[in-house]
Amino acid sequence: MLYKFIDGSVTAPIGFKSSGIHCGIRRNKSKRDLGLIFCEKKCNAAAVYTTNLVQSSPITVTKRNLADGTAQAVIVNSGNANTCNADGEQKAEEMCRLTAEALGIDKNDVIVASTGVIAQTLSIEPIANGMAELTAQLSRSGGSDTAEAIMTTDTVKKEAAVETVIDGKTIKIGGISKGSGMIHPNMATMLCFITTDAAISSEMLQKAVKKAADETFNMISIDGDMSTNDTLSVMASGLAGNNEITEEDENYNIFLEALTAVCRKLSKMMAKDGEGATKLIICKVSGAVTENDAKAVAKSVISSSLVKAAMFGADANCGRILCAVGYSGCDVNVRKIDVSYASKAGKIDVCKNGLGMDFSEELAKKILLEDEVDILVELNDGCGFAEAYGCDLTYEYVKINGDYRT
């Protein structure tokens, strides 16, 4: 491990400030609904987005603004997704213009994002009226306020930061994310904003972001619904002073490992905070013919509503695991599959060579009642490994989504 976790958020890297306020998009005045991230210099930037054909207007504008591989600020609101609106693109452009005017930068160097209710017209007035306060509150300690400003049904803020060393220079990477529902590969981030002071070209940054997302955010499933607004963006200030990373060399690999660590931590936090969830479930698949097979099996298991319901009830039903493996689309020898459950309370084997086995229901219950549970699937067919992140399916999930808009 070439990195270590540190306290901090999107303002941990050199050059970044952020803020978050309540501007009036949301009726609840105690909830922040507008966030800003700003760098003192123009950054190399990259992003990946939802693959849903229905995409928010902010994604359309952000893609256009990032076409040159640079950005200097992020403006984001919660409470309204600005999706499926006739004037959505105009409103997203106006958010960029207001931000650029307040910060004295080019409006084409602004990443814009929105999250919340779909197909509800976004009012620009609260955002315009809040820009002065939002920019005035920019600070090196404002990361948590921004993390709060992007929350919708999230119950906790999601922040992470790491540091590593490249060319003898300390490099920091920090990030925030939001997402509790409408999360399913691929892109399954809802919203995530990452900053770094590493010097890295836009091309290499794009490669690193895609690779990290594939290993982490694209391995989450909370409810099988893919959002229209998912965006993962990264801005790199280069202020740490390392030689710019321009190829897939050792320094690139160090950066990628640290970036993936931030993404993985945020991914687990998102999965654990799934709407109505009581526990984080991690499916670890080993012994697959290929890594892609391992990923497909892990995603299949973690996405199964029957598996998720069993985890809620702490029911060690290995049949549901085997069923999900069987319809994963991978060529698996079902007579070689072993299944176990593990948590802080211990580990128990429940399936050997594709067949159920006797085990202590009491111990299994104890293991599955913990707030983090591993489902271990050994395919015994090769060296491929992957893990996917999810949560249990509870009564509360239906309650939250039954009246989400009203």
Closest CA to 245 of 164, 138, 137: 164
Query: Residue 395 CB: number of other CB atoms within 10 A?
Result: 9
Please identify which of the residues 99, 189, 196, 231 carries the catalytic annotation.
Answer: 189
Residues 399, 153: Cα–Cα separation, whole Å: 12
Helices 291-303, 318-326: axis angle to 10 degrees equals: 130
Q: How far apart are CA 32 and CA 41, in angstroms?
A: 26
What token pair was written down for 343? 């948590």
3-state secondary structure of 58: helix
Count CA atoms within 13 Å of residue 125 on its CB side: 3
CA–CA gap between residue 168 and residue 38 (Å, rounded): 26
Which residue in 289, 245, 298 sits closest to 267, CA to CA? 298
Phi-psi region at 290: left, alpha or beta (left = phi > 0; alpha = psi -120 to 50): beta
Which neighbouring-strand residues pair with 387? Answer: 284
Residue type, 27: R
Q: Is 62 a catalytic residue?
A: no
Residue 231, sorted as left (phi over 0), alpha (psi -120 to 50) or beta, turns out to be beta
Greatest extent of the chain over all pairs of C-alpha atoms, in Å: 68
Q: Output 3-6 pairs: Cβ under 8 A, ≥24 positions apart.
A: 3/162, 3/163, 3/164, 3/254, 3/257, 3/258, 3/261, 4/162, 4/163, 4/164, 5/160, 5/161, 5/162, 5/261, 5/265, 6/161, 6/162, 6/163, 6/172
Strand-pair partners of 194: 175, 234
Tokens describing residue 145: 């306020």
Task: Tally the C-alpha atoms within 13 A of residue 138's C-alpha that lie toward its C-beta.
Answer: 19
What gap in Å lies between CA 103 and CA 40, rounded to an integer? 10
Residues annotated as catalytic are: 189
